[in-house]
Amino acid sequence: MSVRVTAVMVAYNRRELLGEALAGLAAQSRPVDRLIVVDNASDDGSGEFAEESLAADGPWGSGPG
């Protein structure tokens, strides 16, 4: 049986901390298989930052295309 790990991150107006939080998850010894970011209607760009980070190249993103 293979164990899958899902992380859920809740954010509200903490855009300045999201990059650090994502980097911390990426640095874990056991990789996260799925990441769910819940943006609670932030008005500081947190949701957009999360979307851009998850779409970009890197440990979370799907890369180009």
pLDDT number for residue 61 = 62
Q: What is the DSSP string of the chain?
A: -----EEEEEESS-HHHHHHHHHHHHTSSS--SEEEEEE-S-SSSHHHHHHHHHHSSSSS-----
pLDDT number for residue 65 = 41
- Render each residue's pLDDT in the chain as its tens digit; 65 residues: 788 889 999 999 999 999 999 989 888 898 888 888 999 899 999 999 988 888 876 666 655 54
Question: Which pTM value belongs to this model?
Answer: 0.74
pLDDT number for residue 20 = 93
